A and B are shown apart, each in its own frame.
Chain A
Amino acid sequence: QVQLVESGGALVEPGGSLRLSCVVSGIHFAYYYMMWVRQAPGKGLETVAYITTDSNTILYGDSMRGRFTVSRDNAQSSLFLQMDSLRADDTAIYYCATGREAGIADLWGQGTRVTVAS
């Protein structure tokens, strides 16, 4: 049974930092690209970050570039998102997602909630 379990979401003040984790089981994690996708309250889905199996290609959404860092530990089947200089508009549910075929994300976690507020 495939599971993606996010954690690390919390209430944080503007300008603060947070590190999200996504632990994956039931698949050979090292063979899968990974993404972080978020949904702000009342808004649509937005790709936050993308990372290839070997971490050689890493891409970020425009508003995250320079503030967020995605990484992975294939030995631990884990994906991470380091979020710095957080802003109110980063408030969202953050999902990790992947799939066997490039771009076709059919495996999702349940999401972790990040709230940026003073």
Chain B
Amino acid sequence: AQSVTQLGSHVSVSEGALVLLRCNYSSSVPPYLFWYVQYPNQGLQLLLKYTTGATLVKGINGFEAEFKKSETSFHLTKPSAHMSDAAEYFCAVSGGSQGNLIFGKGTKLSVKP
């Protein structure tokens, strides 16, 4: 069965610092991997996704993630955090019993001035 593990339920960084949010997955088939962001009291918005091809994926708002099959990881990074990046971030893998998205438990990112 597919699963997603996000290491760290809460990550706090200073404005301008590197953002690193960790995601590991398990999948018996080549996975489709996603990062979504949820701002307070809003729905989820896609940041980026990996389907096939280039393993370094660039998304919106300066975020990127690298698919590493050998490490079964899909960590999300951003070189320089902005205050506006404060939100909840969800990693997801497509591959449930009927191909549905399976979400990690989320990582709350706080950005300090």
Tell me, yes or no, whether A binds B.
Answer: no
Q: Chain B: residues with CB nearer than 8 A to chain A?
A: none
Q: Chain A: residues with CB nearer than 8 A to chain B?
A: none
